[in-house]
């Protein structure tokens, strides 16, 4: 059996894999948040950043594929570990609070599934910009000029996208679940790596709590500020009408019914 097989077939190996892919996803979340917080600056800031990323297709696709691999491995190792655990313990615990399991720890798999569903929605919303899921219109029609070039207006897309009440709610619910998932996931990652003595454990718990709270606040403040019209409202007012006009279906052509011609 080679090393990859051995890691994959042991439950400890799967725990490591889940922890390492989870850690890579947290690094992505921190970077993604830093990028998104630029929405609090002038529109050119985040538009320039998005344009820079798209102008480096090798880097962008490398990061996208790496991210996809991490998400895939994280999910598969979580599901197989849950199956191994339930096979090892066929009878459910008699009490709910058995072995000090927190609410978050008991619902890691369902919470993770909802977060995965959010990611699919989020990609359809902003990356694929599908008009059917945004309640606004065709985001690909939103463009602006940057250094004399016509570029996608990511700032207007974010503001118009998150001003929609039900969309804002989806984002906020997802951030809440992500916060609970991370609070438990981060500390259990260190636990799998063997850091569970009385010296490290309180520090690890604190680190997990501070990181998940910082991500919760950082990610929630964006949809809240946009929804409350604190960010970008004046900027998108004009864009809104231009977008409506661009998305509008052409009026049906006049059809003359034979025998009913206008007199
Ligand atoms: C307030 C919350 C968030 C906002 C405003 C936001 C904004 C965005 C935007 C604007 C894009 C598209 C960039 C573009 O293609 O031009 C994007 C892509 C993405 N976001 Fe988010 N995001 C948020 C939360 C999240 C969360 C919580 C996750 C993960 C759990 C996430 C994962 C992703 C991924 C995987 C992509 C695709 C990256 C790519 O296409 O290269 N986002 N986000």
152 lies in some domain:
yes
256 lies in some domain:
no
Q: Are the C-beta atoms of 109 and 86 separated by less than 8 Å? A: no
How many domains does the chain contain in total? 1
254 lies in some domain:
no
Cα distance between the two ends of the chain: 88
Q: Take atom 29 of ligand 1 and give the residue whose Cα is closest.
A: 119
260 lies in some domain:
no
pLDDT digits 0-9 by tens, 187-219: 888 887 777 788 888 999 999 999 999 999 999
Structural domain of 35: 3-88+106-247
pTM recorded for the entire structure: 0.87
131 lies in some domain:
yes
pLDDT digits 0-9 by tens, 115-162: 999 999 999 999 999 999 999 999 999 999 998 999 999 999 999 999
Residue from 21, 24, 32, 51 to probe ligand 1 pocket by mutation (most atoms less than 8 Å from CB) = 32
- State how far the Cα of 257 lies from the Cα of 79, in Å rounded to an integer: 62
Exposed (0-12), middle (13-18) or buried (19+): which is 114, by Cβ within 10 Å?
Answer: middle
Q: Take atom 40 of ligand 1 and give the residue whose Cα is closest.
A: 127
- Provide the CATH number for the domain around residue 208: 1.20.1300
φ/ψ region of 217 (left if φ > 0, alpha if ψ in -120 to 50, else beta) reads alpha
How high is the pLDDT of residue 51? Answer: 95
């Amino acid at each position: 059996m080679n090393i990859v097989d051995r890691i994959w077939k042991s439950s400890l190996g799967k725990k490591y894999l889940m922890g390492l892919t989870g850690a890579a996803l947290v690094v992505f979340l921190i970077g993604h948040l830093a990028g998104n917080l630029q929405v609090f600056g002038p529109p050119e800031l985040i538009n320039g950043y998005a344009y820079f990323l798209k102008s480096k297709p090798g880097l962008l696709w490398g990061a996208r594929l790496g991210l996809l691999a991490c998400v895939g491995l994280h999910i598969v190792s979580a599901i197989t570990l849950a199956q191994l655990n339930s096979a090892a313990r066929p009878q459910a615990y008699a009490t709910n609070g058995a072995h000090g399991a927190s609410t978050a720890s008991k619902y890691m798999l369902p919470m993770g599934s909802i977060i995965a569903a959010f990611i699919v929605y989020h990609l359809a919303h902003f990356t694929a910009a599908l008009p059917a899921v945004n309640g606004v219109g065709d985001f690909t029609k939103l463009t602006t000029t940057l250094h004399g070039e016509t570029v996608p207006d990511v700032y207007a897309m974010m503001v118009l996208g998150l001003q929609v009440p039900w969309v804002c709610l989806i984002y906020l619910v997802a951030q809440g679940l992500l916060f609970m998932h991370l609070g438990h996931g981060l500390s259990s990652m260190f636990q799998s790596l063997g850091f569970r003595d009385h010296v490290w454990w309180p520090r690890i718990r604190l680190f997990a709590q501070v990181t998940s709270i910082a991500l919760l606040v950082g990610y929630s403040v964006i949809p809240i500020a946009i929804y409350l019209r604190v960010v970008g409202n004046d900027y998108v007012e004009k864009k809104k009408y231009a977008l409506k006009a661009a998305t509008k279906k052409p009026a049906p052509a006049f059809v003359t019914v034979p025998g009913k011609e206008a007199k």
